[in-house]
């Protein structure tokens, strides 16, 4: 079971433990995450911590089998929570209860994990929907798009095609967040961290919660 350490230089740290580490209780994860977002232990912090803990303890098949989560279990949980702390313009949805689409373009490095993590969940009355896209042109109506490392050589072209859309782009490539991407995962000392390029998000008319921004590392320019 991962443990969420305190913020270090504004980077979120999730320690990937050995498989024989004992399981952590829901309360412990909630408390740890609430402290990580900073400030007093308020109902707001409790809510954020609870959302994060539930998806870790209950939302992934890995936990049901008492196995330590994989890197992509953790990244799937993060993506689910990103959707909670990003605000899209109303024009990004066909209706008040239209799906919030989380997609992947390129090789699906998550396998079934991301789809299982978001299956059956709602955010602000929008059911979460998972899709795999074979081209960026097919993905222009999604809300969160994970751009696979298989598309690294095509990144400039992809960012150009997405210009003017309201899509939150997520990746796991070096220089992703400082070359036009919005959120980039990286692993440092066996810890999953992420960067946020809020300037790029703002260009897409996306509002990222200040609490989520406080947990992220700014990209190098």
What DSSP state is assigned to residue 10? T
Q: Indicate whether 15 pLDDT > 70.
A: no
200 Cβ neighbours under 8 A, 6+ residues apart: 169, 177, 180, 181, 182
Instruction: Find the mean pLDDT for residues 206-217.
Output: 93
Instruction: Find the mean pLDDT for residues 119-126.
Output: 95
2 Cβ neighbours under 8 A, 6+ residues apart: 14, 15, 16, 17, 56, 68, 69, 74
Q: What is the pTM of this model?
A: 0.74
CB 10 within 8 A of CB 215: yes
Selected residue with higher pLDDT from 78 and 15? 78
* Residue 151 vs residues 18, 84, 135, 157, 172: alpha-carbon distances, Å: 31, 26, 10, 10, 11
- Tens-place pLDDT, residues 22-56: 333 344 443 444 444 444 444 444 445 544 554 44
CB 100 within 8 A of CB 128: yes
* Interaxial angle between packed helices 26-36 and 43-57, expressed in degrees from 0 to 180 and rounded to the nearest 10: 130
- pLDDT for 49: 52
- Tens-place pLDDT, residues 77-118: 999 999 999 999 999 999 999 999 999 999 999 999 999 999
- pLDDT for 191: 86
Selected residue with higher pLDDT from 51 and 171? 171
58 Cβ neighbours under 8 A, 6+ residues apart: none
pLDDT band at 190 (very low <50, low <70, confident <90, very high): confident
- pLDDT for 39: 43
pLDDT band at 122 (very low <50, low <70, confident <90, very high): very high
Q: Indicate whether 148 pLDDT > 90.
A: yes
Site of tokens 């990209």: 219
- pLDDT for 158: 96
- Tens-place pLDDT, residues 151-165: 999 999 999 999 999
* Residue 42 vs residues 13, 20, 39: alpha-carbon distances, Å: 22, 33, 8
pLDDT band at 189 (very low <50, low <70, confident <90, very high): confident
What DSSP state is assigned to residue 6? P
**Token pair of 173 as six digits:** 């490539």
Question: How high does pLDDT run on average in the chain?
Answer: 78
Q: Where are the domains of the chain?
A: 3-214
Share of the chain above pLDDT 70, in %: 69
**Token pair of 5 as six digits:** 């350490």
């Amino acid at each position: 079971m991962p443990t969420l350490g305190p913020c270090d230089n504004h980077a979120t740290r999730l320690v990937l433990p050995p498989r024989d580490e004992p399981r952590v209780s829901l309360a412990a994860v909630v408390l740890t995450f609430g402290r990580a977002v900073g400030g007093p232990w308020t109902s707001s912090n409790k809510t954020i911590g609870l959302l994060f803990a539930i998806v870790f303890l209950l939302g992934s098949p890995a936990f049901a089998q008492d196995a330590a989560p994989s890197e992509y279990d953790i990244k799937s949980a993060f993506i689910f929570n990103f959707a909670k702390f990003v605000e899209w313009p109303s024009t990004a949805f066909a209706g008040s209860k239209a799906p919030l689409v989380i997609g992947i373009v390129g090789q699906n490095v998550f396998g079934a994990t991301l789809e299982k993590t978001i299956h059956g969940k709602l955010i602000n009355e929008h059911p979460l929907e998972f899709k795999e896209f074979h081209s960026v042109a097919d993905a222009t109506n999604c809300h969160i798009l994970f751009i696979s490392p298989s598309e690294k050589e095509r990144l400039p072209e992809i960012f150009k095609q997405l210009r003017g859309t309201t899509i939150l782009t997520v990746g796991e490539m070096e220089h992703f967040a400082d070359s036009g991407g919005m959120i980039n995962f990286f692993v440092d000392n066996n810890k999953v961290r992420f960067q946020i390029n809020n300037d790029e998000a703002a260009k897409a008319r996306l509002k990222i919660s200040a609490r989520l921004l406080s947990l992220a590392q700014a990209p190098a320019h």
